[in-house]
């Protein structure tokens, strides 16, 4: 599609991406803006990232750019760093014909373990996952190259795989998650042929490195489509491989507290994203794993006879360790998640005058937000506790003093008649008779 037939302008592409494209082009290499950057501009959206492909090898790219670092093991990539902005540059991929194990390798299920096979633009397009991502903007003449009917699928809003769906999903099971994410993000429909194998192959996600899955979860749940992605992932069986403990409770109690909390949390996350409020992985995992934590704590208390407080502390490590087997949660977030959990146990014990010090805790606000979500899911005493804390948090200084004093009167008061019974003094031993 020549320049006069499409609406993409260089003004819509980041200055840093343009710099990379032009330097590659002026150095005698082919250079294209590819994938989501082209797709989103054509759809009238603002791209978050601008990715570039070229026929230059990673080593040649590194020689051209002093601000370049090479990353990736499965597929070698060049990152051109401009402060906080990073332009990802990939070498055009080729087919695996007669390639040695050093540059290309798959495992028994067909998943690509190494993929450093280079080719031309036609071969690279065939290696792309979806037709709507097989779109290339050529900096040499500003034309668009579309493969597999990408422009037509963009117009009909269809998510279509390039090649055989079974083979493509086995090569990289994360493509199943990407199909869901693109469908919700772009308001598109997954083609029936591409959707049909997903349930049967969902279990392949268990083989994906946990560190990679952490990044995929951020894209799924922190972009304003958490509720839709959650529902579609469960429909296709993609939620269980990532969150087995949560899925077990959802199946056991379809309309229970876990289900209600999930709905509240996903809706709350989407609302915060829409309002440009921060959303953090620490709070997300604290809410997501709260009821698996409750279940594990109850089991520990029953088995060991520990107090409820000690059982919860023991369960925190168990639940986090099990979740990190599928999704590697960085310690800077998992530590805060445990803080939020621990504070849930302190809300009832810190009413009254203790509340003034408690609300100064650095993680109080996150813990309080989780308490409010739990109140909607559980009702009962949790809802009563949440209502008390809500009135205290939102009250003026004078109102807080009144609320705190009333809570103290309702509880134990050392000046009241309900004093602690003192242990009687031991009687002195009687002297033996002389």
3-state secondary structure of 31: strand
Q: Angle CA(229)–CA(233)–CA(236) in degrees, nearest 5?
A: 140
Q: Is position 129 annotated as part of the catalytic site?
A: yes
Please spell the DSSP secondary structure of 323-352, one letter per residue: HTTTS---HHHHHHHHHHHHHHTTTGGG-T
Contact between residue 167 and residue 197 where contact means Cβ atoms under 8 Å apart: no
- The answer to whether 184 touches 240, Cβ cutoff 8 Å, is no
User: Which listed residue (40, 115, 124, 129) is catalytic?
Assistant: 129
The answer to whether 7 touches 118, Cβ cutoff 8 Å, is: no
Q: Which residue has the tokens 């200055």?
A: 15
Nearest 5°: the CA angle 406, 410, 414 is: 100
Query: Does the annotation mark 51 as catalytic?
Result: yes
Q: Three-class SS of residue 221?
A: helix
Q: Catalytic: which of 40, 51, 270, 339?
A: 51
Q: Is 60 helix (H, G, I), strand (E, B) or coil?
A: helix
Q: Which helix (H) or strand (E) holds 78?
A: strand 77-82
Facing residues of 224 across strands? none
Element (H, E) at 281: helix 281-288
Contact in structure between 368 and 393 (CB atoms under 8 Å): yes
The catalytic residue positions are 49, 51, 129
């Amino acid at each position: 599609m020549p320049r006069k037939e499409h609406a993409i302008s260089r003004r819509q592409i980041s200055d840093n991406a343009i710099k990379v494209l032009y330097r590659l082009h002026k150095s005698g290499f082919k250079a294209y803006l590819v994938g989501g950057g082209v797709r989103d501009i054509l759809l009238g959206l603002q791209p978050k990232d601008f990715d570039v492909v070229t026929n230059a090898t990673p080593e040649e790219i590194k020689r051209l750019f002093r601000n370049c670092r090479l990353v990736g093991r499965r597929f070698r990539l060049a990152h051109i760093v401009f402060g906080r902005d990073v332009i990802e540059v990939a070498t055009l991929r080729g087919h695996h014909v007669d390639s040695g194990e050093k540059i290309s390798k798959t495992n028994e299920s067909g998943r690509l373990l190494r993929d450093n096979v280079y080719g031309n633009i036609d071969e690279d397009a065939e290696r792309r996952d979806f037709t709507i991502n097989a779109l290339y903007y050529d900096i040499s003449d500003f034309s668009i190259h579309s493969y597999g009917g990408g422009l037509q699928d963009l117009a009909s809003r269809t998510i279509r795989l390039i090649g055989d769906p079974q083979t493509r999903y086995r090569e990289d099971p994360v493509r199943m998650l990407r199909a869901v994410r693109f469908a919700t993000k772009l308001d598109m429909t997954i083609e029936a042929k591409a959707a049909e194998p997903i349930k049967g192959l969902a279990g392949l996600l268990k083989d994906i490195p946990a560190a990679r899955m952490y990044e995929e979860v951020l894209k799924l749940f922190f972009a304003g489509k958490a509720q839709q992605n959650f529902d579609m992932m469960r429909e296709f069986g993609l939620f269980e491989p990532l969150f087995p403990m949560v899925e077990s409770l959802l199946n056991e109690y379809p309309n229970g507290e876990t289900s209600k909390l999930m709905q509240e949390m996903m809706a709350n996350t989407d609302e915060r994203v829409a309002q440009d409020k921060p959303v953090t992985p620490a709070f997300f995992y604290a809410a997501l794993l709260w009821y698996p934590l409750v279940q594990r704590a109850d089991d520990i208390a029953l088995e060991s006879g520990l107090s409820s407080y000690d059982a919860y502390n023991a369960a925190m490590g168990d639940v986090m360790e099990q979740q990190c087997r599928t999704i590697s949660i960085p310690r800077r977030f998992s530590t805060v998640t445990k803080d939020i959990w621990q504070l849930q146990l302190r809300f009832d014990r810190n009413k009254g005058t203790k509340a003034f010090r408690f609300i100064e805790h650095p993680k109080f606000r996150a813990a309080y937000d989780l308490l409010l979500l739990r109140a909607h899911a559980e009702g009962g005493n949790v809802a009563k506790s949440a209502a008390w804390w809500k009135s205290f948090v939102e009250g003026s200084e004078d109102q807080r003093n009144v609320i705190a004093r009333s809570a103290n009167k309702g509880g134990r008061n050392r000046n009241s008649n309900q004093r602690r019974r003192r242990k009687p003094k031991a009687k002195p031993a009687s002297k033996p008779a002389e």
